[in-house]
Structure formats: structure tokens, C-alpha cells
Amino acid sequence: MGGLVYVVDRDWTSTQFLAAFAGLQPGVSGLFGPLGPVLPSFLHAYAFALLLILLIGRTRRAAAVGAGAWFACAAALEFLQAPSLQRLFIDHAVPASAAPLLHSIQSYVLNGHFDPGDLVAAGLGCAAASAISSVREAPP
């Protein structure tokens, strides 16, 4: 569903994996309406929080820790896109050959923008992952 948002609701020139095909885009449909801008943030946080929870273990504590840890990561990446923090990456650019991971984060930060809606969506996605992971199966 997250990929569908990018294909039908976003301008392909602003999407890294679709930019090369932007000339083929039939048009932006607005299929997801007001959820379109934040749905990928929700789904991304939900999916990665679930994966982290499964990696930690299937307990209620793991659900809380995994969801909290992923939200902290998502929030940090969102806040790094704030204009005042973007300036740090502009002033101290890192070449790809020196630190590939840091260069990737730098690219993400410089090509994005801070959106409180994305922060809320990530929080809701992590909360949903924690809630669904806390549900216990009925004994056979």
C-alpha cells in the first residue's frame, strides 16, 4: 500500500525510485486523499517496528521496547530534516567515499523536509505495532 501511494499520489520527480520514469507518469490521482502525505510514514514505522519487535522477542516488553526504539529512530530522522539541523549537513558535507552510511543519511536529510504530520504518523504506526504485538493467541 505504501508503494501504491508513491505510484498514484506523488509526483514521480520527487520520488527517488520513480524519478527516472517521471515522463511516463499519467498524472497524480489523489486516491488516498488527506492520508496520502502521511500514509508512507505510518506504514514504514509500523512495518519496521514490527520487525524490530519480532527480532527482540514476542513479549509485551519487547513490543514496548521495539516500538519505542523505532519511534526514537524515526523521530530523530524527521527532526534532522528541520531547516536548522539541515544546515549542519550543508556546512559539513560528507563525501560518499568517506562514510557511505552518513552520506546516505545526509542525502535523506537534505532532500526531505520536516513535517509534524509525519512525526504523528510514525508515532501512530509504532503504537499500532506495539498494540498488535501485545495481543496474545488463545491457547489451543
pLDDT per position as a tens digit, 13-57: 666 666 677 677 677 677 777 777 788 889 999 999 999 999 998
Give the Cα separation of 105 and 85 in Å (integer): 13
pLDDT at 127: 97
Give the Cα separation of 58 and 86 in Å (integer): 37
Task: Report pLDDT digits (tens) over 105-116.
Answer: 877 787 778 999
Which pTM does this prediction carry? 0.77
Q: Where along the chain do its domains lie?
A: 1-36, 38-134
Q: CB neighbours of 80 closer than 8 A, spacing ≥ 6? A: 86, 89, 105, 109
Q: Side chain identity at 131, as an amino acid letter?
A: A
Could you tell me the three cell numbers for 46?
Answer: 509500523
Q: Is the pLDDT of residue 104 over 90?
A: no
